[in-house]
Structure formats: structure tokens, C-alpha cells
Structure 1
């Protein structure tokens, strides 16, 4: 007989257990954690740097120098705890990121299953069909190139440094193509939904009186449509946050600072994690 979930700790542990029981749930949690850590680490470093610069300027202003003199000042962190926490946060974030990359090594199997699904049941709309195949091709190339770069960086396969960097950059550019096609897919989905909504509205105005069954059907459709719109908006927000990251990692040296990268990654992680977290509540409630 299952023990009743009577405490918050029990419920929290049960929901986390459900979340970590699937690869997608585990990745959503780890993605959110690693980017949150990167955001916190970057924000702390920025604040500390600004503080030290301010102190240095203040000391320089109070200590006028004669021509040829130089003022040397040794500054320490405001609190020793921050000096210890910041590198540890970065180390943990890097470790989680490395683990997530490792778990994507068998991602090509998922690409195979995805491609097989598209071939067996392709979207009826031509635009959605082309977008699906374009995304599949882009993400398959991304996965292959990332796998080769990662294995090369670990010395498992023979790849020179420039080749590894090239693979990482090309893989991110393939990801960029996939993100671009996601905008196309989302735009087409919205367009088709708007057409369906207008058609149902026109059909409704033609009927003076709806039967009870039809009213129930309309209510159910409205509920489903609301849920789909919410899902669409979350997917759009996640894609908008991902877009700058694809640009950042597809250029040598990147174009964004660590704080911005951490913030954007944290946003995308939360947008993926929150729906999954809500689903665990329904599972625990049934138990």
C-alpha cells in the first residue's frame, strides 16, 4: 500500500523523482540550473569588478601623484565568501554543461526516431512539412558535429584543435538554422489556427440556435484552443531567447557576456521546465 503524501517534503521529492525519471525532464532541470549558475556568477563578477573600479578611482582621487609617480594598490574582495563562491559556482556550471553535452552523444538515435516519425506521418500542410524536414536536417547535422567536436576535445577521436573549434562553430550554425525554421513553423501554425478560428466564427453566425451537443463541442474546442495558444506562446518565447545564443556560439569568441548568456539560457530552461513541473503535480495527485 502506497504511503499517503501528507507533507510538502514528500510531495516535492515525489515530483522531483518524476521529473528526473525522464531524459527530457533531467535535461530541463540541469539546463535551468547551469544557466542560472552562470547568470549568478556573471552578475557577481560584474558587481565585484564595478566595486573594485570605484574604490580604485576613489583612492586615485585622494592620492594626487607627482609626475613620474605610480600608485600601486592591492584590493581584495569585499567579503572573502564571494571570492570563494564565484569560482565554485563557475566550476559547477561547467561540470553540468559538460554532463549535458555527454548525454547528447546518443542524440542521433532521437534524430533517427524523429525522422522516421516525419516520414510515417508528415504534416499535411506543405510549409509545415518542409519546415519539419529542414529542422530535422539541421538538428541532425548539429548533433553529429557536436558529437565529433566533443569526442575530439576529450582525445577519444583524432581531431586537431582548429578542427574541433570548426566543428563546434558549424554545429551551432546548424542549430541556428533549426531555430530559424522554428520561427517559420510557429508562424505557419499561428496562421492556420487563425484561419480555423475565423471559419468557426463564420459558421457559428450562420446558425441561429446551437444544439446542446454543438455548444459542448464549441466549449471543448475553446478550451483546447486556449491551451494550444499558451503552448505556442511559450515555444515562441523560448525560441526568441535561443536565437541570440545561436549567434553568440556560432562566432569565435562570442558576442555576449556571461551574464547575458546565463540569463537567456535560464529563461529558455524555465520555459521548458515549468510545463513539465506542472505535469508532475497531476501525476502526484493521482497517486
Structure 2
């Protein structure tokens, strides 16, 4: 039936219901509207929210790495808060002082100058000092927790040595197997097996694997120097070891410089890793393939690692200098807070309570 042959609306069966699209919306079929949460409901849900937060925080601190991450975040969060309060309150106090001096020397001089009361800026300055003291206490707690770091480095060194020996052993066995197959193999079978073994052996002793191994050993050595010198310096400052103050200072500087060397090597390693990725995926153009989900995820993880590591670089130069540092306290707090916040966010997301 064509459109011109369709019956008019008046001739349609009046007992049949209209199509669903023509039905007026009933009150129950309308989408629910978001109602504002009442204050009483918000107060009633506060205990459960606090309980969920504390449960999640406890879950984050179940491991040694998680506890260190939480302490690192708390250390630089309190330090940054204290630095910001100190900067703002100091500026307000200086402005108030200039105003009082202008009032005192304004002709004709006033007979009495009102004594400034404990203003909000002064209270903020006191709070800043307390937050910085708390940050220093957390930093000392972290240093005490790192006293066991040499034990973890021992097992890391053990694992690295075993991995290196296993790679050398595998390369040797591959070479011997390849030589045997080439001498005693018949026809094309022996040649194909020898070619496969040769390719595998070349891959095992490639410059990339050699570079990675050397960097791993160098980073491990720098961390061993960092941890050992920090432990001796800290224990000497607590009168546990008989080391004088100047020697403690020299060991502390050596510790920070060893850490700075590790940070520099990590930056170089990440740059080499990115260069390899470009050559692998981009070829001559040298561009990363970000079309796939895996490529975008790799790029995101690489940038996260590189920028967090880069934030520590000026701090190692600051703490490792002989003159006591060149960065203002606010810059130190902000540089340290950036990687601390990032690692805390990762930990919070990865330890979500189901």
C-alpha cells in the first residue's frame, strides 16, 4: 500500500491504543531528578565515610613500600603546607609592619601607636612552624625505616647476580648447541637449527642487554653507597656510632650525591628506553605509535616515571651542595610533593577496597 492509499486517521480502529511514542509520559516513567543531599543525611553518612577512608589507608600501609609511600606523601604535604603558610603570613606581617611604620612617622606624630594583636598572619606563622616540625619528624621516621634498606639491597644484588649468571650460562649453552648442530646436522635441518641458535645467542649478548646490565649494576652500587653512608651518618648523629660531627656531614653529603648519581642514571636509562621504543615502532621517522591502546599506555607510564624522577634531580643538587643548598624552601617542598603525590595516587588506586 502506498502512502496515498493509507486510510485516514478517522477510519482507524478507535479501540486500539495509540503507538507508544504518542503516549503522554506518566509520572512514574519520567527520569528521576537528582535531589540535593540533606545535611542530616550527610552527617549520618560521615562515620561510614571515615571508616572507609581509614580502612583504605590501612590497606595502603600493609607493605613496607606502601608505608614508605604514605610517609613520603605526609612528609611533603605538611612541608608544602608549612612553606605556603610561612610565605603568605610573612608577606602579610611585612605589609602590616610597613603600615605601622608609616603611621608612626606620619606628621604630626601620633602620641601612641596601637600595639598589634596576635593577628591571623601570626597564627598562620605559628602553624607553619608546627607543620614543618611535623614534617621533620616524619622525615626522621622515614630515615629510621630505611635502616633496613641494606637488607633489601642485598637481595636485589643477589637476584641481579643470579640473573646475569643465568644469561651467560644460557648464551654458552646456546653456542655449544649451535656448533654441534652445524657439525653433525644433515642437510637443511642442521643449518636451520644452527641459524636459530646463532640468532638467539646474538640476542642474548646484544649491546642493549649489555647496557641494561651495566646500568643495573651501577645503580645498585650507587644505592648501596647511599644507604650505607646514610645509615652510618644517622646512627652517629644519635650517638650509636662514634663518629664526629664533621665526619657525619661528609657522609651525609656523600649519601645525597650517590642518590643523585642514581637519579641521573635512571634518567639516562629512561631516555635510552624511549629511543629504543621509537626505533622499534617508528622506524626511520622515530615516532612512537600511539594509535594502539598499548602504545598510549606505555607512553603514559614512561612520562610518569621520567617526570617524577626528573623532579628529584634539582633536590639532589640542592642537598648535595657544600653551601647548604640554593633552592628556597617553597621550591624544595613543591619539587618533593610532585612525585610524592603521584606515587600516593597510584597506591590509593591500586589498593582500592572492593
1:225–1:151 distance in 2 versus 1, CA, 3 Å: same
Any gaps of 5 or more consecutive residues in structure 1?
Answer: 1-6, 67-71, 202-220
* Equivalent residue number for residue 214 of structure 1: none
Q: Does structure 1 conserve the Cα–Cα contact (< 8 Å) formed by 2:86 and 2:125?
A: no
Deviation at 1:11, TM superposition (A): 4.0
Q: Any idea what the Cα deviations from partners look like across 1:46-77, whole Å, max 9, x if unmatched? A: 111111211222222333389xxxxx997565
Q: Which residue of 1 aligns with 2:299?
A: 229
User: Which whole-Å CA distance do the structure 1 matches of 2:221 and 2:349 have between them?
Assistant: 32
Whether 2:143 is the aligned partner of 1:143: answer no
Distance of 1:186 and 1:153 partners within structure 2: 36
Give the C-alpha shift of residue 127 in structure 1: 2.2
Look at both structures and tell me which one has the larger radius of gyration over its CA atoms: 2
Which residue is equivalent to 1:100?
142
Residues 68-126 of structure 1, C-alpha deviation per residue, up to 9 Å, x if partnerless? Answer: xxxx9975652264254222212211111110000000101111122222222259522
How many angstroms apart in 2 are the aligned matches of 1:263 and 1:91?
Answer: 17
Distance in 2, matches of 1:263 and 1:78, equals: 27
Structure 2 counterpart of 1:48: 89
Q: Is 1:239 aligned to 2:239, yes or no?
A: no
Structure 2 equivalent of residue 118 of structure 1 = 160
> TM-score of the superposition, structure 1-length normalised?
0.80
The residue that corresponds to 1:269 in the other structure is 340
Compare relative contact order (CA 8 Å, sep 6+) and give the higher one, 1 or 2: 1
Q: Distance in 2 between matches of 1:119 and 1:45?
A: 49
Higher helix proportion: 1
CA apart distance, 1:8: 4.4
**Structure 2 gaps, min length 5:** 1-47, 108-112, 165-203, 286-290
Paired with 2:116 and 2:219, the residues of 1 have a C-alpha distance of 51
Runs of 4+ in structure 1 over 6 Å off: none
